[in-house]
Amino acid sequence: MSIQVRTMADMMAAGESPDILFWVGCAGSFDDRAKKITKALVKILNHCKVNFAVLGTEESCTGDPAKRAGNEFTFQMQALMNIELLNGYEVKKIVTACPHCFNTLKNEYPGLGGTYEVIHHTQLIQDLINTGKLTLADNGTFKGKKITFHDPCYLGRANDVYEAPRELIEKLDAALVEMKRCKTNGLCCGAGGAQMFKEAEKGNKEINIERTEDAIETSANIIATGCPFCNTMMTDGIKHFEKEEDVKVMDIAELIANAADL
Amino acid sequence: MQQLIFGVLTLASFGFFAFNLRKIAQNIHMGLPLDRSDRKADRWRTMLLVALGQKKMFTRPIPALLHLALYASFVITQIELIEILVDGISGSHRFFQESLGGFYTFMISFIEVLSVLAFIGTVAFLARRNMLKLPRLNMKELAGWPTQDANLILVFELILISFIFTMNGADEVLQSYAGNSNGFAISSQLGPILFDGMSNHTLHILEQIGWWGHIIMVYTFMNYLPYSKHLHIFMAFPNTYYSKLEPKGQFTNMQSVTNEVKLMLDPNADPYAAPAADAVASRFGAKDVTDLSWKNLMDAYSCTECGRCTSACPANTTGKLLSPRKIMMDTRDRMVELGDYKRKNGPDTEDGKSLLGNYITEEELWACTSCNACVQECPVNIDPLSIIMDLRRFLVMEESKVPTELTGMLTNIENNGAPWQFAPTERMNWANED
CB B128 within 8 A of CB B60: no
Residue B271: pLDDT band by 50, 70, 90 thresholds? low
Residue A155 maps to a domain: yes
Whether residue B247 and residue A187 make contact (CB cut-off 8 A), yes or no, is: no
The answer, for B263 touching chain A at a CB cutoff of 8 Å, is no
Residue A30 maps to a domain: yes
Strand order, beta sheet including A145-149: A174-176, A145-149, A222-225, A248-251
Q: Are A141 and A246 contained in the same domain?
A: yes
Question: For residue A178, with 0-12 CB atoms within 10 Å meaning exposed, 13-18 middle and 19 or more buried, which class applies?
Answer: middle
Phi, psi of A230 (to 5 degrees): -60, -40
What's residue A1's pLDDT? 62
Residue A2 maps to a domain: no
- The residue among A229, A228, A222, A227 whose CA lies nearest residue A249 is A222
Measure A159 CA to nearest chain B CA, in Å: 6
Q: Are A181 and A86 contained in the same domain?
A: no
Residue that terminates a domain, selected from A77, A100, A128: A128
Q: Are A142 and A246 contained in the same domain?
A: yes
Contacts for B18 with CB less than 8 Å, ≥ 6 apart:
none
Nearest CB partner across the interface for B318, out of A3, A59, A210: A210
What's residue A137's pLDDT? 84
Name the DSSP class of B55: G
End-to-end CA distance of chain B: 95
Whether the pLDDT of residue B282 is over 80: the answer is: no
What's residue B75's pLDDT? 85
Residue that terminates a domain, selected from A64, A93, A128: A128
The domain containing residue A247 runs over which residues? 135-259
Helix ranges (DSSP H) in B349-423: 362-365, 373-377, 384-393, 404-416
What's residue B276's pLDDT? 58
Q: Are A170 and A208 contained in the same domain?
A: yes
* 3-class secondary-structure state, position A240: helix
Contacts of B427 in chain A (CB under 8 A): 24, 29-30, 56-57, 59
Whether residue A190 and residue B369 make contact (CB cut-off 8 A), yes or no, is: yes
Write out residues 349-378 of B within 8 Å (CB-CB) of A.
363, 366-373, 375-376
**In this structure, how many other beta carbons lie within 10 angstroms of the beta carbon of residue B222?**
15
**In this structure, how many other beta carbons lie within 10 angstroms of the beta carbon of residue B139?**
18
Residue B146: pLDDT band by 50, 70, 90 thresholds? very high
**In this structure, how many other beta carbons lie within 10 angstroms of the beta carbon of residue B78?**
11
Q: Which residues in A10-127 belong to E strands, given as ranges?
A: 20-23, 52-53, 93-96, 117-120
Amino acid residing at B113: V
* pLDDT tens readout for residues A2-60: 899 999 999 999 999 999 999 999 999 999 999 999 999 999 999 999 999 999 999 99
Cβ contacts below 8 Å, chain A against chain B, sum to 213
Min mean pLDDT across A148-157, A219-228, B271-280, B319-328 is at B271-280
Write out residues 291-330 of B within 8 Å (CB-CB) of A.
312, 314-315, 317-322
* pLDDT tens readout for residues B329-382: 999 999 999 999 999 999 999 999 999 999 999 999 999 999 999 999 999 999
What is the average per-residue pLDDT within B414-422? 96
The answer, for B403 touching chain A at a CB cutoff of 8 Å, is yes
Residue A3 maps to a domain: no
What's residue A115's pLDDT? 98
Measure B371 CA to nearest chain A CA, in Å: 5
Residue A206 maps to a domain: yes
The answer, for B255 touching chain A at a CB cutoff of 8 Å, is no
Whether residue A77 and residue B261 make contact (CB cut-off 8 A), yes or no, is: yes
Whether the pLDDT of residue B231 is over 90: the answer is: yes
Whether the pLDDT of residue B25 is over 90: the answer is: yes
Q: Are A155 and A185 contained in the same domain?
A: yes
* pLDDT tens readout for residues A176-227: 999 999 999 999 999 999 999 999 999 999 999 999 999 999 999 999 999 9
Contacts of B410 in chain A (CB under 8 A): 66, 69, 71, 74
What's residue B214's pLDDT? 92
Contacts of A76 in chain B (CB under 8 A): 253-254, 257-258, 261
Cα separation, B293 vs B291, in Å, equals 7
- The residue among B195, B421, B393, B386 whose CA lies nearest residue B309 is B386
Measure A68 CA to nearest chain B CA, in Å: 7
Q: Which residues in B115-157 belong to E strands, given as ranges?
A: none
Q: Are A76 and A147 contained in the same domain?
A: no
Residue A160, domain CATH: 3.40.50
% residues pLDDT > 70 (chain B): 97
Amino acid residing at B226: P
Mean residue pLDDT of chain B comes to 93
* 3-class secondary-structure state, position A175: strand
What's residue B77's pLDDT? 84
* pLDDT tens readout for residues A118-150: 999 999 999 999 999 999 987 788 999 999 999
Measured between alpha carbons, how far is residue A148 from residues A234, B314, B337, B428 in Å? Answer: 12, 19, 48, 32
What's residue B278's pLDDT? 53
Among all residues of chain A, which has the CA nearest to that of B386? Answer: A68
* 3-class secondary-structure state, position A140: coil
Q: Note the Cα A67 to chain centre separation in Å.
A: 19
Whether the pLDDT of residue B277 is over 90: the answer is: no
Phi, psi of A22 (to 5 degrees): -95, 110
Whether residue A203 and residue B367 make contact (CB cut-off 8 A), yes or no, is: yes
Nearest CB partner across the interface for A159, out of B247, B257, B284: B247
The number of folded domains in chain A is: 2
Amino acid residing at A144: G
Measured between alpha carbons, how far is residue B27 from residues B32, B243, B357 in Å? Answer: 11, 19, 20
Name the DSSP class of A119: E
- The residue among A211, A182, A44 whose CA lies nearest residue A122 is A44
Whether the pLDDT of residue B161 is over 90: the answer is: yes
Residue B1: pLDDT band by 50, 70, 90 thresholds? confident
What's residue A173's pLDDT? 86
Q: Are A32 and A143 contained in the same domain?
A: no
Whether residue B258 and residue A3 make contact (CB cut-off 8 A), yes or no, is: no
Contacts for B275 with CB less than 8 Å, ≥ 6 apart:
none
* pLDDT tens readout for residues B165-183: 999 999 999 999 999 999 9
Residue A88 maps to a domain: yes
* pLDDT tens readout for residues B92-122: 888 998 899 899 999 999 999 999 999 999 9
Q: Are A176 and A203 contained in the same domain?
A: yes
Contacts of A74 in chain B (CB under 8 A): 410, 413-414
* pLDDT tens readout for residues A237-258: 999 999 999 999 999 999 999 9
Residue that terminates a domain, selected from A96, A128, A160: A128
Amino acid residing at A82: N
Strand order, beta sheet including A20-23: A52-53, A20-23, A93-96, A117-120
Q: Are A148 and A93 contained in the same domain?
A: no
Residue A1 maps to a domain: no
Residue A145 maps to a domain: yes
Q: Are A16 and A117 contained in the same domain?
A: yes
Whether residue B261 and residue A206 make contact (CB cut-off 8 A), yes or no, is: no
Contacts for A48 with CB less than 8 Å, ≥ 6 apart:
A128, A133, A134
Contacts for A135 with CB less than 8 Å, ≥ 6 apart:
A129, A260
Q: Are A121 and A155 contained in the same domain?
A: no
Give the H/E segment covering residue B227.
Answer: none
Q: Which domains does chain B have, with CATH numbers?
A: 2-241 (1.20.950), 282-401 (1.10.1060)
Whether the pLDDT of residue A106 is over 90: the answer is: yes
Whether the pLDDT of residue B323 is over 70: the answer is: yes
Whether the pLDDT of residue B280 is over 60: the answer is: no
Question: For residue B337, with 0-12 CB atoms within 10 Å meaning exposed, 13-18 middle and 19 or more buried, which class applies?
Answer: middle
CB B252 within 8 A of CB B363: no
Q: Are A16 and A77 contained in the same domain?
A: yes
